Amino acid sequence: MGKTVIIGGVAGGASCAARLRRLDENAEIVLLERGEYVSYANCGLPYHVGDVIKSRDRLLVQTPEAMRKKYRVDVRVKNEAVSIDRAEKTVSVKNLATGELYRESYDTLVLSTGSSPLRPPIPGIDSPRIKTLWTVPDTDDIRALVRGGGVRKAAVIGGGFIGLEMAENLRHAGLEVSVIEMLDQVMAPLDYEMAQMLHENIAQNGVTLHLGDGVSSFADDGRSVTVTLKSGKTVEADLVILSIGVRPNGELAKGAGLAVNQRGGVVVDETLRTSDPDIFAVGDVIEVVDFVSGGPAMIPLAGPANKQGRIAADNIAGGRETYKGTQGTSVAKVFDLTAASTGANEKTLLNRGYKRGVEYESLIITQNSHASYYPGAAPMTLKLLFSTDGQKLYGAQIVGKDGVDKRIDTLSTVMRLGGGIDALKELELAYAPPYSSAKDPVNMAGYTAENVLRGVVRFCSWDAVENTPGAVLLDVREDAEVTTFALPGAKHIPLGALRDRMAELDKDSRIITFCTIGVRSYNAARILMQSGFSDVWLYPAGTRFYRSTHYGEYGVTRIGAAPVSDSGHAVDPAGPVPCIRLDCSGMQCPCPIMKVFEAVKEMKAGELLEVSTSDPGFVRDIDAWCRRTGNTLAAACRCENGYIATIKKGDGAASPP
């Protein structure tokens, strides 16, 4: 194997070094890192800023000293590779502590130089109050500012993974937070309608969103920064976090004459060799193959970087391992929700020229994280994109509270192994009430996709209400549910009465069926389709999803935090004690609202009802129900196991549904 020099000691570089040592105890391995740290948990940095991860040491996966002792790797931190001489097979290195320049020979070279956060030439961007979060020292700097007490307002520029994680953690630290995003949505891997659920919850948690509005300039007056947006709006902040994307650190490779793409990403073959067979490259700096399309892509993720480091090590040691592409599987915590995706989204398919109904189909369903009768079940909304022959999965997205990660991992695995809709139906997945349902959400996605392909059900688009004038909106929820939210202009016929009242509907009209999450409306659609109605469509995931995708039209109910007793109940020492407590955790519609309705009927004016739930959407629903029925939502707060709403009977003027 000879001597291997690895440039870059985080993720791919550290993984490569450790694997090389395991394969060859006698190999000479030199690891050059221009920073102070190697193998640190950069994905955990935002959580240390917010004090969720309290110990700084827990971010350091391996120290230079530990790598030297455990793996006998010559680790040199604060040593920056400045150029490569391919003919001589040497690297020019600068010792940043002493300023010394020296040359290091290699037999095999590995580039793991990563990427760097973008800082575009925006006027005022050099203000010391404008920070990026990319390294451990960045974290130390921002954490010191936040905990020093002089920062009250923060502006996060960019709504990607790091931007949203920073927004959440800055809010957790007690700051007023604004998120500014040039696109019309956060979290670009999601489609717009799925991102709307994040927008709603971000707003519920008190963060101000500025979407579809880029930054024009920054102005630092010595006390704070004024962020001027392209729309002319201004945002005042004591601290600004830049999180607007990354660029590959490909300058070293380009200077050495290696093949790079237009963005500066290093071009590699399937074995991760560059255009020079003695030089490998891994991680954020390389151009990868998009697993779905087969085309080139830049997808900077920690999981692929670590896998690539291992593959490169195997090949350096004489193996023949190949990297078969990146799916872009990712997950992020965004306040109360978890957002995850794998493969292509619908925007990407459309940009590639795919036509819905010709090359692909899509569906959106809502399922509980586990059996609804077991406490703590929470809904998740799943979007699936698949070929019209059912043989290929193009991508999936999930937004929910619990169980999102294992479902996206299952879908990602099926995609990686070449499975289609039949595979989703046939998967035998572990079931017990605390963990799943007998029909797991992934199975349900397969069953629903089969129904779509067979013509058993037709989903309309999330914006069909405004884009299908003249359609009959058929709401099959119960009367009490309609008090939480009524679709404008909808025809209301509860599912149980539909067969008897079918004559009220025109068989020649387009009908779009709704319920709360889409199950009863599917049953309604089947009744109509088998009764001579030929133009019946199902609204995806019901009125819950409709309200989230249109949350800006209906307002946002803030979710607060309140002290909670050991028994799980809200505590207000100065306030009255609720006369009734309802546990609606995991209940499916229409049970929670019906239970509240029945309980309030038996209460006296002024008495309190406390309702606990695992569904974040219930807080919004109960707020609307109170306003429509003349009752008062006294409090809506988050607790360890979900949410608690306290309802006071009366004192509110009822508004019509």
User: Would you name the residues annotated as active-site residues?
Assistant: 43
Q: Sorting pLDDT into bands at 50, 70 and 90, what band is 577?
A: low
- Residue 465, pLDDT score: 95
Q: Is the dihedral of CA 252, 256, 258, 262 positive or negative?
A: positive
Q: Sorting pLDDT into bands at 50, 70 and 90, what band is 645?
A: confident
Contact present, 431 and 438 (Cβ < 8 Å): yes
Q: What is the mean pLDDT of the chain?
A: 92
- Residue 489, pLDDT score: 92
- What is the C-alpha separation between 207 and 189, in angstroms, rounded? 21
Give the range among 64-78, 438-452, 567-581 with minimum mean pLDDT: 567-581
Q: Is the dihedral of CA 132, 138, 139, 141 positive or negative?
A: negative
- Does pLDDT of 126 surpass 90? yes
pTM, two decimals, is 0.90
Instruction: Name residue 361's beta-bridge partners.
Output: 386
Torsion of CA 31, 37, 43, 47, to 10 degrees: 170
- For the residues 218-245, what does the mean pLDDT come to? 96
pLDDT in tens, 295-312: 999 999 999 999 999 999
- Does pLDDT of 373 surpass 90? no
Give the residue from 194, 233, 197 showing the smallest Cα distance to 212.
233
- Does pLDDT of 44 surpass 60? yes
Instruction: Name residue 635's beta-bridge partners.
Output: 646
- CA-derived radius of gyration, the chain: 28
pLDDT in tens, 166-213: 999 999 999 999 999 999 999 999 999 999 999 999 999 999 999 999
- What is the C-alpha separation between 41 and 55, in angstroms, rounded? 12
Contact present, 476 and 518 (Cβ < 8 Å): no
The structure tokens 């609606």 sit at: 584
- What is the C-alpha separation between 61 and 17, in angstroms, rounded? 14
- Residue 588, pLDDT score: 63
- What is the C-alpha separation between 243 and 383, in angstroms, rounded? 27
- What is the C-alpha separation between 9 and 446, in angstroms, rounded? 42
Residue 440 CB neighbour total at 10 angstroms: 23
- For the residues 124-130, what does the mean pLDDT come to? 95
- Residue 567, pLDDT score: 41
Residue 455 CB neighbour total at 10 angstroms: 8
Higher pLDDT, 389 or 647: 389
Torsion of CA 622, 624, 626, 630, to 10 degrees: -170
pLDDT in tens, 240-268: 999 999 999 999 999 999 999 999 999 99
Contact present, 583 and 644 (Cβ < 8 Å): no
- Residue 571, pLDDT score: 46
pLDDT in tens, 421-455: 999 999 999 999 999 999 999 999 999 999 999 99
Structure tokens at 468: 């299908």
- Does pLDDT of 656 surpass 60? no
What's the length of the chain?
657
pLDDT in tens, 624-637: 888 888 888 888 88
- Amino acid type, 318: G
- For the residues 466-490, what does the mean pLDDT come to? 92
- Amino acid type, 12: G
Give the range among 255-264, 285-294, 314-323, 645-654 with minimum mean pLDDT: 645-654
Query: Distance between terminal CA atoms of the chain?
Result: 75
- Does pLDDT of 59 surpass 90? no
What's the 3-state SS for 543-612? HHHHHHHCHHHHCCCCCEECCECCCCCECCCCCCCCCEEEECCCCCCCHHHHHHHHHHHCCCCCCEEEEE
- Does pLDDT of 347 surpass 70? yes
The structure tokens 């803030």 sit at: 558
